[in-house]
Amino acid sequence: MTAAPAAAGKSAALERYEAVIGIEIHCQLKTVSKMFCGCSTEIDGAAPNSHCCPVCLGLPGVLPTINRTAVEWVLATGFAIEATVAPTTRWDRKNYFYPDLPKGYQISQYQLPLAANGRLTFDTSEGPFTVRVRRAHLEEDTGRLIHDELGGRRVSLIDFNRSGMPLMEIVTEPDIRTAEQARRYAEELRLLMRTIGASDAEMENGQMRVEANVSIRPRGQESFGTRVEVKNMNSMRAVERAIAYEIERQAVAVDAGETIHMETRGWDEARQSTYHMRPKEEENDYRYFPEPDLPPLLTSPEWLAGIKARLPELPSVRRVRYREAFGLSAYDADVLVNDAAAAALFEGALAAGAGVPAKLLANWVTGEYMRLAKGGEGSGGGAAGRVDAAELAALVKLVAGGAISGTNAKEVFGEHFASGAGVASIVKARGFRQISDAGALGAAIDQVLAANPAAVADYRAGKAAAVGFLVGQVMKATRGQANAGMVQTALRERLDKAE
């Protein structure tokens, strides 16, 4: 867990106040074309206003068409969070004026979202926690305003490439009580989006936008306080910090006799504080009404069944399977489930190497593999190497059977990671096959004992640590190939016996 900000735990105010938090998340859905037109969604790095058409520019007289894949992603999300998926849904116009919204309204879903009444359960430092999800619905994104300076004048530029990109909005009930729970909810939802393939959900580039509604109430009070909406958090860490900050700010304000007003606040990463952006619009400001250009959407049972059947194994299910079927610790299971490439390697190696010990394999994947994959020392500067699952299985079996030392195995793995060479050929070329033969080890031990009388004397004089030095000498003499465990045992035997 990341270190909680000072405000989270130690605050005296929080002994008297409880926070109430609801989260709204927008995810950009993975589709080829936009929500209501044929424009490409490949807008990253594209020239401004190069991916637009009359529909997503909101020109008069055009008609929207519904993107089937986008609808399917919301339905899939609905199933993944155990929500009720509506047999028929409708589109609504959400009217407001803003320069990034050329139509003057956004097509959204108001009264009949595609999915409602779901839940998401995840682990926190205080145990498992479940958040009820009120709804998940589909809508379209707006354009992007860029405030800049041109020739000494302050200008606002507009890029409509993002206009009409498919967005899913997922809204929770106000069930969350701590900043950590809020961050964990967002992390679990992000993992779910990536697992089912609905969204890449990168916060840094706006594919996933988290907004938190935060209020406080005196402990023991049932009714909620006035909520403040916090946005512009660009990382999970920022989500936790911003909420912790906001809870503390409200508590201090209430203590000082101030009244909390509905407002939208932004998170200032540099200052690590929230600031007032604007007063919160009332709901009826949007003048929602049914979208007249789109028919209601019917979700046939066959269509729904197909979407449900195509869902992959969900993170919550996979965690339990890893723990129960392979005896992994909750921690290891979680590390694997959070990293799709690592989980694929783990599963691939299990499938490829009959009898490979799963726990040891998991250690290799979460340890050496993830270290090198993240560009750790010896990874060749982060050049993503490819690990062959069958080769990893073979290596882990060599380690488990004592045929190769753990240290040498790491070298073999590093070489395989860098060059792709096969494990057997690396072991052979480097002469890494471990000497576990008692006779061969005995000869090496005899030589080392004869060559190091001082260390032998030290040991017999009661300096037990001298044995470590002698083990090291045997390892050196055998170029690291001796089975260190066997050397240790054999050395002690000799030293204790042959006085």
Question: Quick one: which segment of 52-60, 196-204, 261-269, 301-309 binds Zn ion (CB under 5 A)?
Answer: 52-60
Closest separation in Å from C-beta 74 to ligand ADP: 17
Closest separation in Å from C-beta 103 to Zn ion: 12
Q: Does 33 bind ligand ADP (CB under 6 A)?
A: no
Contact 73, 38 (CB under 8 A): no
- Cα separation, 476 vs 482, in Å, equals 9
Closest separation in Å from C-beta 41 to Zn ion: 10
Q: Does 56 bind Zn ion (CB under 5 A)?
A: yes
Closest of 490, 467, 475 to residue 406, by C-alpha: 475
Beta partners for residue 147, in sequence order: 156
Q: Does 37 bind Zn ion (CB under 5 A)?
A: yes
181: its two tokens: 């729970």
Site for ligand ADP in 208-227 (CB under 6 A): 213-215, 224-225, 227
Cβ proximity to ligand ADP, 213 vs 483, nearer residue: 213
The one of Zn ion, ligand ADP, none whose footprint includes residue 199, by CB under 5 to 8 A per kind, is none
Closest separation in Å from C-beta 238 to ligand ADP: 18
- Cα separation, 10 vs 389, in Å, equals 47
Cβ proximity to ligand ADP, 247 vs 365, nearer residue: 247
The one of ligand ADP, Zn ion, none whose footprint includes residue 37, by CB under 5 to 8 A per kind, is Zn ion
- Cα separation, 122 vs 316, in Å, equals 8
Q: Which residues are within 8 A (CB) of 432 and not within 5 positions of it... i.e. 6 or more apart? A: 404, 405, 408, 409, 411, 412, 426, 480, 481
Cβ proximity to ligand ADP, 105 vs 364, nearer residue: 105
Rule CB under 6 A: choose which of 171, 253, 277, 443 binds ligand ADP: 171
Contact 66, 294 (CB under 8 A): yes
- Map tokens 């080890």 to a residue: 441
Q: Does 199 bind ligand ADP (CB under 6 A)?
A: no
The one of ligand ADP, Zn ion, none whose footprint includes residue 254, by CB under 5 to 8 A per kind, is none
- Cα separation, 65 vs 18, in Å, equals 46
Phi/psi of residue 229, nearest 5 degrees: -95, 130
* Number of residues this chain uses to bind ligand ADP (CB under 6 A): 16
Closest separation in Å from C-beta 132 to ligand ADP: 9
Closest of 436, 391, 380 to residue 413, by C-alpha: 391
Rule CB under 6 A: choose which of 8, 17, 22, 356 binds ligand ADP: 22
Rule CB under 6 A: choose which of 109, 161, 172, 178 binds ligand ADP: 172
Closest separation in Å from C-beta 217 to ligand ADP: 8
Cβ proximity to ligand ADP, 171 vs 294, nearer residue: 171
The one of ligand ADP, Zn ion, none whose footprint includes residue 33, by CB under 5 to 8 A per kind, is none
Cβ proximity to ligand ADP, 86 vs 361, nearer residue: 86
Sign of the alpha-carbon dihedral angle for 372, 374, 376, 380: positive
Q: Which residues are within 8 A (CB) of 93 and not within 5 positions of it... i.e. 6 or more apart? A: 105, 106, 107, 108, 287, 288, 289, 290, 291
Cβ proximity to ligand ADP, 225 vs 480, nearer residue: 225
Question: Quick one: which segment of 165-173, 269-277, 361-369, 456-464 binds ligand ADP (CB under 6 A)?
Answer: 165-173
Contact 34, 56 (CB under 8 A): yes
Site for ligand ADP in 256-285 (CB under 6 A): 283
- Cα separation, 141 vs 28, in Å, equals 8
> Quick one: which H or E segment has residue 22?
strand 17-28
Q: Does 165 bind Zn ion (CB under 5 A)?
A: no
The one of ligand ADP, Zn ion, none whose footprint includes residue 283, by CB under 5 to 8 A per kind, is ligand ADP
Q: Which residues are within 8 A (CB) of 120 and not within 5 positions of it... i.e. 6 or more apart? A: 81, 130, 131, 133, 185, 188, 189, 192
Task: Provide the binding-site residues for Zn ion, judged by CB under 5 A.
Answer: 37, 39, 53, 55-56
Residues within the interface to ligand ADP (CB under 6 A): 20-24, 171-174, 213-215, 224-225, 227, 283
